[in-house]
Chains A and B, each alone.
Chain A
Amino acid sequence: MAIPKVCGIETEYGIHVPGGDGNPIAASSVLVNAYATEAERRTDWDFEDETPANDARGFTRVGSLAPVVETHLANTVLTNGARYYVDHAHPEYSSPECADPLSCVLYDKAGEEVLRRSMRAAAHVYPNAPGAVVYKNNSDGKGNSYGCHENYLMDRAVPFAKVAAAIVPHFVTRQIFTGAGKVGAETAALDRSAVTFQISQRAEFFEEVIGLETTLKRPIVNTRDEPHADPRRFRRLHVIVGDANLAEVATFLKVGTTAIVLAMVEDDVSPPRDLTPADPVRSLHQVSTDLTLARPFMLSDGSTATALAVQWELYTAARKYADHYGLEVLGNDGVGEQVLQRWEAVLHGLEQDPSTLFRQLDWVAKHRIVEAYRERHGCEWGDSRLAALDLQYHDLRPSRSLHARLGMERLVDDEAIASAVTTPPADTRAWFRGQCLARWPEAVVTANWDSLVFDLGTDPLRRVPMMDPLRGTAAHTAALLEASSSPAQLLERLSA
């Protein structure tokens, strides 16, 4: 049976220091540390339970490169329950656990605000240093990519192979609404002389269908098995194939449609026919470069379909699934139904005229201004002004951001985002983590997704496990926290 689709988004931001010494690790550390000192007290992240080398297929890796965990780098936990740190020479914001896709949009936008505040804090702490500029994108246009990962809570009882097989058609085709758009191409996977604009930032960096890697030979389905919860009950599907979205509608659909398809797998519901592409990696690349959305690719059964047709079949199956099973696993307040309605509307829009979605989808919005710029200035493809336009779409500074000027449709307002920068979601364990950090910053010495460690000034340190992402909510712990005047009292009551 499907379980609640607790979800989160982990974004590695691009960082550029105009006139700087070109050390992105130092520049990223400055941002995170300045934010931690200025805006939040620093709480160290605890790596004890991190096992990025565990593979969901049931074996521990042998002979491949282990992801490097650099514990000496800036690393902090925020009072909204997020983790904010330096990863692979990029500042990374991992959102708190969210109970529904709309909440996920809110905490993803709160992450952008954290990065904006970090730029301001760094300018304040280091007034003479050249300021770093942060970009929410996935590539530098020169063959280097960095990720925007999603994660979804799954029932451990469902075999991973079944999840992987069922999700491939969605991951190959969802880019027609989740793509962030890109001028040109930058890897050997595509014919760089022929691609002028493509739908996805990330697609051309994928080389395998399934695997554990995240930094090379990237797979469409990533097998990293870190549940950050009770491993007997849960898995946490780690998704690396997506683009970083600025458009709220795109993020909402990216997370919402994926959550529904995953819930269907858990309930053993599938579309009437197998939609798996015969060559998923090639189809992923082809879909990204086909702005007409009309070119079919071959499915494994020998028939052909376009990305749009695959999405229509997934949507139709999802609608039928929702009618039978309901969508409570996507949260209360009808969020699941909103996802379905948006999904249908966007597919209609893409079918009739994609350009009508310029206020909803990143790739359409970017394509529109690139084409308008080309027309106005008579630029050829390959003109660096078009590449600059592409990069600057993702610039987070309000004074420079092009995205912010496009009047994109909003799903969450600025007031809610400002509140989400410091307040955790009330309906997951992020509430307990964030509230403890806000109340007793001196006592929480380390924090992790599934535990908090308190130093009460007496030996030994006390570890509070949080093995269920849906426990530790405001409903469970608000009264307890209210009634505890000290962390010692809280721990006493918790163990009672």
Chain B
Amino acid sequence: MAERELKRKSAPARTETEVIEEAPAASERGEKIKAELDDLMDEIDEVLEDNAEEFVRNYVQKGGQ
């Protein structure tokens, strides 16, 4: 218990140090993640069921276990 408490307390401090030292890298990483998400959302727009309303309405299941 004590050991875990220690680890948890030290974790935020370590993160802050990283943020200060690696700020440019972190923002680059953030932009990369955002660009990836944009590409992903383009792809999702392409494959999402055309008639969402009808698809959702017709997706009816019998209850199971």
A: residues with CB less than 8 A from B are 12, 14-16, 18, 22, 24, 67, 87-90, 139-142, 144-147, 149, 214-215, 240, 272, 312, 315-316, 319-320, 348, 351-352, 368-369, 372-373, 376, 384-385, 387-389, 391-392, 399-400, 402, 405-406
Q: Give the nearest-CB partner of A90 in chain B.
A: B64
Contacts of A14 in B (CB 8 A): 59, 61
8 Å CB interface, B50-65 against A: 52-53, 55-65
B40 interface contact, C-beta 8 A:
yes
Q: Known contacts A215-B64, A372-B41, A406-B40; is A16 also within 8 Å of B48 by CB? A: no
Contacts of B47 in A (CB 8 A): 392, 399-400, 402, 405
B21 interface contact, C-beta 8 A:
no
Q: Known contacts A141-B56, A348-B11; is A385 also within 8 Å of B64 by CB? A: no
B: residues with CB less than 8 A from A are 1, 4, 8, 11-12, 15, 37, 40-41, 43-44, 47-49, 52-53, 55-65
- Determine if A214 and B48 form an interchain contact, defined as CB atoms under 8 angstroms apart: no
Contacts of B64 in A (CB 8 A): 12, 87-90, 145-147, 215
- Determine if B41 and A18 form an interchain contact, defined as CB atoms under 8 angstroms apart: no
17 A-B pairs, CB-CB below 8 angstroms?
A12-B65, A14-B59, A18-B55, A24-B62, A87-B65, A140-B59, A140-B60, A140-B61, A215-B64, A352-B15, A372-B37, A376-B41, A388-B49, A388-B52, A389-B48, A400-B47, A405-B40
- Determine if A385 and B59 form an interchain contact, defined as CB atoms under 8 angstroms apart: no
- Determine if A392 and B48 form an interchain contact, defined as CB atoms under 8 angstroms apart: yes
Q: Is the interface of B mostly helix, strand, loop or mixed?
A: helix
Residue from A18, A67, A145, A147 within 8 A of B58 (CB atoms): A18
Q: Known contacts A319-B4, A352-B11, A372-B41; is A385 also within 8 Å of B61 by CB? A: no
Query: Smallest distance from the beta carbon of B15 to chain A beta carbons, Å?
Result: 7
Further pairs besides A144-B61, A149-B65: 20, Cβ < 8 Å: A24-B61, A88-B63, A88-B65, A140-B61, A141-B59, A144-B62, A144-B63, A145-B63, A146-B64, A146-B65, A215-B65, A240-B65, A368-B37, A369-B44, A372-B37, A373-B44, A384-B57, A388-B56, A392-B49, A405-B43
Q: Give the nearest-CB partner of A351 in chain B.
A: B8
- Cα A385 to Cα B53 with chains together (Å): 7
Residue of B44, B49, B63 ringed by the most chain A CB atoms within 10 A: B63
Q: Give the nearest-CB partner of B60 in chain A.
A: A140
Q: Give the nearest-CB partner of A376 in chain B.
A: B41
Query: Smallest distance from the beta carbon of A114 to chain B beta carbons, Å?
Result: 18
Contacts of A348 in B (CB 8 A): 8, 11
